[in-house]
Amino acid sequence: MNKHLYGRLARQNLRKNFRSYGPFLLASILTVAMFYILCSLSVNPGLEGTFGGGTLGVVLALGTCVVGLFAVVFLFYTNSFLVKQRKREFGLFNVLGMEKRHLAKVIGLETLYAALISILLGLGTGMALDKAMYLLVSRLIGVPVSLGFFLSWKVMLATAGLFAAIFALIYLNSLRQVYVARPVELLQAEHAGEREPKAKWLLALIGLACLGAGYYISITTTDVLQAMFLFFVAVVLVIVGTYLLFTAGSVAMLKLLKKNRRYYYKTRHFTAVSGMIYRMKQNAVGLANICILSTMVLVMVSGTACLMLGMEGTLRSAYPYDVANDYGNAETGDMMRRALTDAGFTIENEARYTYMDAAAYRTGDDFSMYMPENITSWEEFCELFIVDLEDYNAVLGQSESLAPGEILLHIERGGAIQTDAITLFGRTYTIQKQTDLTIPYSGMLTNINNAYCLVVADMDELRALDRARYEQLYGMNTDMEPYQPAYSEIEMYSGFDIAGGLDEELRAHEVIERAWSDAAQEGSGVRLAGSYNIRGWERQFFVQLYGGLFFLGMFLGLLFTMAAILIIYYKQMSEGRDDRERFQIMQKVGMSRLEVRRTIRSQVLTVFFLPLAAAGVHMAFAFPILYRVLRMMSMYQTGTFLWCVLGAFGTFAALYAVVYSLTARTYYKLVSM
Amino acid sequence: MTILQVEGLGKTYTGRFGANQVKALTNVSFSVEQGEYVAIMGESGSGKTTLLNILAAFDRPTTGRVLLEGKDLASIQESELAAFRRDSLGFVFQDFNLLDTFNLRDNIFLPLVLAGKGYVEMAERLQPIAQRMGITDILNKFPYEVSGGQKQRAAVARAVITGPKLLLADEPTGALDSKSADGLMDLFTALNASGQTILMVSHSTKAASHAGRVIFIKDGELFHQIYRGGNTNEQMYQKIADTLTLLATGGDGHE
């Protein structure tokens, strides 16, 4: 055969099948571009060189792996739709006298063209958007922007190599499909008769049980540490449940509807129910994929957005003051204050208090060092933050008063205390009042454990508590030495707010760092204690991590959304072809065009929005456990998270609706042609 | 009483840009009386299908008109057409046109469900028809589970369950083996005997020989028609065959 013929045929095929090939090409171009961008960002020296760039690099590199893996599965999967649709065409060529090796050549050239288009345009798009993304990330994480264009041959080669390999795999798969089939089968591939699916009640019930169990775990898990592990259990259960319910559950449900004659034999339900049974048989797995993909997008986008948006709040609760000496003493605090004022900083606000920070086990109203007999959850392990009344009133500007043996109680996290008195390390106190207020304190309040803040009457009481705590420990461990002041858990916190913004805080970091190392020298006369932290400095770590995650979340969210949309588009298109015949018959038997249109709309609507609705329900039930997982990452703002979830869902649904209207139109054209 | 009246029917298909005008039908006139069984014969491309499509209101004529019980099909609004077709006409197609997603019972119910009938009424109507078609035992089966002849009988049941004024059949035996075809034709004869008006398009001489009257079309024009009179099926067969020979050898038509 003429050499040029293959090329012409291949090009013609691509053009002719543009309606089905177009979206695939677009998707693969975008996938190539996204892979290139992520890969390029992860090695961009402009980001790498900056503070904490390592964190961001790792996050982005991880994202690159995800995109790469995803690209393999996604492109392979969508291509199989194309091959299935074109089997008939291949069969026709076969019957017209093209041998399979000729077909292989044509398909090979087609794949080659598709690969070239995808990789070249993808790289082009990637390079064009790379700079924009770089600017976005730089801005997000607040690093200075370096000028110029960053191009890496290695990244380009890696991208081209990966996608060339993927297309090679796709080609092999197409070949397999063509080679194993006989021409008649190829011609009839679209018309393979189908049996009505059977209702698998057991599987449907198992699916329901899995889903229920997953939801139950999410709602009932209150233990933060358990939440992390159980989250994955719940995810697996929900995924299994989703697949089973979409496949077995939907058919069982439809069969039930079919049994109900009053419902079934209505114009609106008659064709829809019976059509859906078949539709679910072919598409249940695809729809379940879309549902899970959508849920993933929602979780990822809302979670990372929430971390990012809540970052300032998280920082504020972790570092209540701009500059602080934690677990420190008066000398160290004074040294830091002096260093700041000597360097010309204006101290706008400062606080100093003495506190005791101790871990304990809570059993009902008893807090002690003794581990309960059968420890059932991490909830029972908690942290106690105790100050005396004088510091409390001074820092918070309150005028509370306490009689000896009385305390104020604030439950930061943990179960309510209903009793009037509690026992702390064997000493019993009357709760004078439970308050909403607590002294701003860094370490403990951002911890994952339950936390209780207490105010005792005076310093003596605090010391007595400290001693009592040690005694309890000492009682358990005979090899410990008797109590000495050096074993005290009583520390001092000094915090300073300085005038000026982030730049000042970073300058303060330099000043304190130098002063601290000077003070650490022999003979400085300062007895250093604890550690120092400067919020602006710590912020950079948060920004790198959360900014990186946020960027990745949005980026992957976009990719997954695109995937979900493409899958659903192909599903509808391939169904449109099957449905055309059915609707023609119905029109012949006396269904009006209006009714056809209405039926089509309701069917497309169902298929389209079923996964979205299911994703919405998943998301609603996932909310509690996700919130707890976020708590592990020191994120405590429920409101912010709720808004993030709603925002993510709204955006996703809007995108989805746009694609729906486009698809519905194409589908209707296909069916009514 | 005249149930169907076709007057001066013409249909011209115009190619794109007005080029290639193709005359599919020219000045076709005939009428069908209540209770008649009429077969329309002609070779492929003679305009049979176009005629049937116009009678079924799937297509509109370029000239002339079609009256069903005195009502001009052209006067029916597009929106009422589906309901009209559903209530007044029954269709039997060559390729059955049963829906794979329904079992035979639901396939037969389809026009009634579209008309908004309740289950009890539908079941009552179905029972005698199914018995007559001999498909009572296979009503729960799906189209892919039964033979061609059974499928076609189910399709006939679907066509007559609405009690149509006119049953239109387009090559009903075209996809059947000879035994099933004979069975179906006997069924048509029986249906006709019980008062059903039938208009069938076919190029099977055997099938047409069951009809009470055969109309021949050639190149879009009415060519000839023969009445059964007192003839047996065999005699009718012979007369049709003779006419077809005449048709093929190019004789002029006469009435």
pLDDT higher than 50, residue B93: yes
Contact indicator for A166, A78 with CB cutoff of 8 Å: no
- For residue B166, the model assigns a pLDDT of 92
pLDDT band at A82 (very low <50, low <70, confident <90, very high): confident
Q: Which residues from B are below 8 Å from A277, CB to CB?
A: 101
**CB pair distance less than 8 Å for A590 and B82:** yes
In terms of pLDDT, which residue wins out, A488 or A170?
A170
The vertex-A441 CA angle with A440 and A446, nearest 5°, equals: 115
Choose among B173, B176, B224: nearest CA to B46.
B224
Task: Provide mean pLDDT across the span A342-367.
Answer: 87
Lowest mean pLDDT among A440-449, A549-558, B59-68, B147-156: A440-449
How far A266 CA sits from the closest chain B CA (Å)? 6
- Using the predicted structure, report yes or no on whether residue A201 has a pLDDT greater than 60: yes
pLDDT of residue A486 exceeding 80, the answer is no
pTM value is 0.77
Average pLDDT over residues B150-175: 91
| Of A180-184, A273-277, A649-653, highest mean pLDDT | A649-653
CA-to-CA distance for A400 and B179, rounded, in angstroms? 105
CB contact under 8 A, B86 and A587: no
b/e code A526-539 from CB counts within 10 Å (16+ = b):
bebbbebbbbbbbb
Q: Which residue of B has its CA nearest to A196?
A: B101
CB contact under 8 A, B82 and A592: yes
Question: Across the interface, which of A265, A582, A593 has its CB nearest the CB of B99?
Answer: A582
CA–CA distance, A546 with A553 (Å, rounded to integer):
10
Q: How many angstroms separate the CA of residue A601 from the nearest CA in chain B?
A: 17
Q: How far apart are the first and last CA of chain A?
A: 36
**Nearest Cα residue to A203 out of A252, A261, A145, A131:** A252
Task: Report the gap between the CA of B39 and the closest CA in chain A (Å).
Answer: 21
Chain A contact for B98 (CB, 8 A cutoff) = yes
Contact B115 A590 (CB under 8 A): yes
Q: Average pLDDT in the A260-272 region?
A: 85
The angle subtended at Cα B164 by Cα B160 and Cα B168, nearest 5°, is 75
Q: pLDDT tens-digit profile of A595-616?
A: 888 877 777 788 888 899 999 9
Place of tokens 């739709």: A81
B237 or A97: which carries more pLDDT confidence?
B237
Residue A588 tokens read as 């012949």
Q: Please report, rounded to a whole number, the percentage of residues in chain A having pLDDT higher than 90.
A: 14
Can you give the three-state secondary structure of A125-191, one letter per residue?
A: HHHHHHHHHHHHHHHHHCCCCCCCCCCCHHHHHHHHHHHHHHHHHHHHHHHHHHHHCCHHHHHHHHH
Contacts 24+ apart (CB under 8 A), A465-472: A465/A356, A465/A386, A465/A424, A465/A425, A465/A427, A466/A356, A466/A358, A466/A490, A468/A424, A468/A425, A468/A426, A468/A427, A469/A358, A469/A360, A469/A369, A469/A425, A471/A425, A471/A426, A472/A368, A472/A369, A472/A370, A472/A425, A472/A426
| CB < 8 Å to A594, chain B | 79
Residues of A in contact with B122 (CB under 8 A): 265
* pLDDT, mean of residues A528-540: 85
Whether residue A29 has pLDDT greater than 90: yes
Kindly indicate the confidence band of residue A164, based on its pLDDT and cuts at 50, 70 and 90: very high
Greater confidence (A428 vs A608) lies with A428
Q: What is the DSSP string of A495-557?
A: EEEESS-HHHHHHHHHHHHHHHHHHTSTT------SEEEEHHHHHHHHHHHHHHHHHHHHHHH
For residue B113, list chain A residues with Cβ-Cβ distance below 8 A: 265-267, 270
Task: Express each pLDDT in B4-14 by its tens digit.
Answer: 999 988 988 87
Q: Which residue has the higher pLDDT, A85 or A492?
A: A492
Q: Which helix (H) or strand (E) holds A243?
A: helix A224-244
Task: Convert the pLDDT of each residue in A38-78 to its tens digit.
Answer: 888 888 877 765 555 567 777 788 888 888 888 888 888 88
Is pLDDT above 70 for B187? Answer: yes
Give the chain B residue whose CA is nearest to the CA of A260: B119
Does B58 contact chain A (CB < 8 Å)? yes
Q: Where are the beta strands (DSSP E) in B34-164?
A: 37-41, 63-68, 71-72, 89-92
Whether residue A194 lies within 8 A of chain B, CB to CB, comes out as yes
Q: What ipTM score was computed for the predicted complex, to two decimals? A: 0.80
Q: What is the predicted pLDDT for the residue at B196?
A: 93
Q: Band of the pLDDT at A314, cuts 50, 70, 90?
A: confident
| pLDDT higher than 60, residue B82 | yes
State the Cα–Cα distance between residues A261 and A263, nearest whole angstrom.
5
**pLDDT given at position A52:** 53
Neighbour count for residue A450 (Cβ, 10 Å): 21
B82 touches chain A (CB under 8 A): yes
Q: Which residues in chain B have their CB less than 8 angstroms from residue A593's CB?
A: 78, 82
pLDDT of B255 reads 45
B119: nearest CB among A193, A265, A582: A265
Tell me, yes or no, if B100 comes closer than 8 A to chain A by beta carbon: yes
Residue B182 has pLDDT above 60, yes or no: yes
Mean pLDDT of A624-653: 84
3-state secondary structure B145-180: HCCHHHHHHHHHHHHHCCCCCEEEEECCCCCCCHHH
Q: Say what angle helices B104-114 and A267-309 make with each other, to 10 degrees.
A: 90
How much is the average pLDDT of A255-284?
Answer: 84
Total count of residues recorded for chain B: 255
In this prediction, residues A254-273 reach a mean pLDDT of: 86
Measuring CA to CA, how many Å separate A411 from each of A386, A436, A457, A592?
A: 12, 8, 18, 67
pLDDT of B140 > 80? The answer is yes
Mean pLDDT over all residues of chain A? 83
* Cβ pair A194:B93 closer than 8 A: no
- Out of A195, A275, A590, the one facing B85 most closely (by C-beta) is A590
Span A369-421, pLDDT tens digits: 887 776 666 567 888 889 999 988 988 888 888 888 899 998 887 778 888 88
Average of pLDDT values for A415-431?
88
Task: Give the mean model confidence (pLDDT) for residues A561-575.
Answer: 81
Does residue B76 belong to the interface with chain A, where contact is any CB pair within 8 Å?
no
At residue A210 the predicted structure's pLDDT band, cuts being 50, 70 and 90, is very high
pLDDT of A293 reads 87
Tell whether B124 lies on the interface with A, counting CB pairs under 8 A: no
Contact B82 A591 (CB under 8 A): yes
Average pLDDT of the residues in A81-106:
78
Cβ atoms within 10 A of the Cβ of A402, count? 21
Does residue B54 contact residue B134 with C-beta atoms inside 8 Å?
Answer: no
